Amino acid sequence: MTGSAGGVPRQLPRQRRHTLFFLRAVREFAPVFLDTEVDVTGVLAHRQAARAERGVHYSTTAYVLRAAGRVLARHPDANAALRGGPRPRIAHYPFVHGKLTLDRSLGGQRVVLGTVVPNLHQATLDEIQAHLDRVRDGDAEQLPDFAAIRRLHAAPWLVGQARFRRAARSLALRPHLTGTFAVTSLGHRAVDSFHSVGGTTTTFGVGRVLPRAVVRDGEVAVAPVLRLSLAFDHRAIDGAQAADVLTEVKDELEQV
């Protein structure tokens, strides 16, 4: 299947341009991949209590964003951004902004859009979830969060590509466009785990929660387990620090 009517090639839909520009921009990354399992018994209990007591629903990604924000505040090198080239540059930030990718539609085309949740080093779970609810329930054709993407789609190809490249290379703009770290989730489908490069030094991949065998006090038990992955840019940090980050995020989630 060619994906075009009658097998005749056609232009890539405008709504997918930002994804293609992004993939070209991150080719200089040097990704390494880690993964772990998280016992989310406490997360699910906390979520159930919030719904029963206050009628509030927290998503799994909200917990991951909060945990990662707290951990990355303690690891400034993993919360940095790097620009390559003959003389690489790195920028460290006094805040932690997290990008979350969303499965949305623009102009009738299914696309991936990203929203940046600010100041996760100090944001509450309620603040994080309010941001997620707003962008998930709002009209992607109207939300100001996606205005830059809509302008990119409307611009001529070469103009849009140049704008994207210029913005992506700016270490001052990058945390506000792509976050200082990224989270992407496919846990709503039958995906146990996966790895993704989000254009940031660290990217967390969130799979589905399933009952799995765990060991507690030397005994085998069944618990809800989340597969959590981490892709890190080896140009910016090494494996030992990346392993510390993933372990500490796991610990944060298991101590909810």
Q: What is the pLDDT of residue 5?
A: 54
Quote the CA–CA distance of 3 and 66 in Å, as a whole number.
Answer: 39
Q: What is the pLDDT of residue 7?
A: 74
Q: What is the pLDDT of residue 2?
A: 47
Which pLDDT band, with edges at 50, 70 and 90, does 144 fall under? Answer: very high
Place of tokens 């929203």: 115
* Model confidence at 8: pLDDT above 90: no
* Model confidence at 249: pLDDT above 90: yes
Which pLDDT band, with edges at 50, 70 and 90, does 227 fall under? Answer: very high
Task: Find all residues with CB under 8 Å of 91, minimum gap 6, and list them.
Answer: 80, 81, 82, 83, 171, 172, 174
Instruction: Determine what percent of the chain is predicted with pLDDT higher than 90.
Output: 75
Quote the CA–CA distance of 79 and 95 in Å, as a whole number.
Answer: 9
* Cβ–Cβ under 8 Å, residues 99 and 178: yes
Average pLDDT over residues 191-217: 92
Q: What is the pLDDT of residue 6?
A: 61
* Model confidence at 38: pLDDT above 90: yes
Average pLDDT over residues 110-115: 94
DSSP string, the chain: --SSGGG---PPPGGGHHHHHHHHHGGG--EEEEEEEEE-HHHHHHHHHHHHHH-----HHHHHHHHHHHHHHT-GGGG-EEE-SSS-EEE--SS--EEEEEEEEETTEEEEEEEEE--TTT--HHHHHHHHHHHHHS-TTT-GGGHHHHHHHHS-HHHHHHHHHHHHH-TTTHHHHH-SEEEEE-TTSS--------SSSEEEEEEEEEEEEEEETTEEEEEEEEEEEEEEETTT--HHHHHHHHHHHHHHHHT-
Q: What is the pLDDT of residue 26?
A: 80
Instruction: Determine what percent of the chain is predicted with pLDDT higher than 70.
Output: 98
Model pLDDT for residues 59-80, shown as the tens digit of each residue: 999 999 999 999 999 999 999 9
* Sheet containing strand 181-185, strands side by side: 31-39, 219-233, 202-216, 181-185, 98-106, 109-117
Which pLDDT band, with edges at 50, 70 and 90, does 183 fall under? Answer: very high
Q: What is the pLDDT of residue 206?
A: 97
Q: What is the pLDDT of residue 99?
A: 97
* Model confidence at 3: pLDDT above 60: no
Quote the CA–CA distance of 225 and 36 in Å, as a whole number.
Answer: 10
Q: What is the mean pLDDT of the chain?
A: 92
Q: What is the pLDDT of residue 24?
A: 82
Which pLDDT band, with edges at 50, 70 and 90, does 222 fall under? Answer: very high
pTM of the model: 0.91
* Model confidence at 142: pLDDT above 90: yes
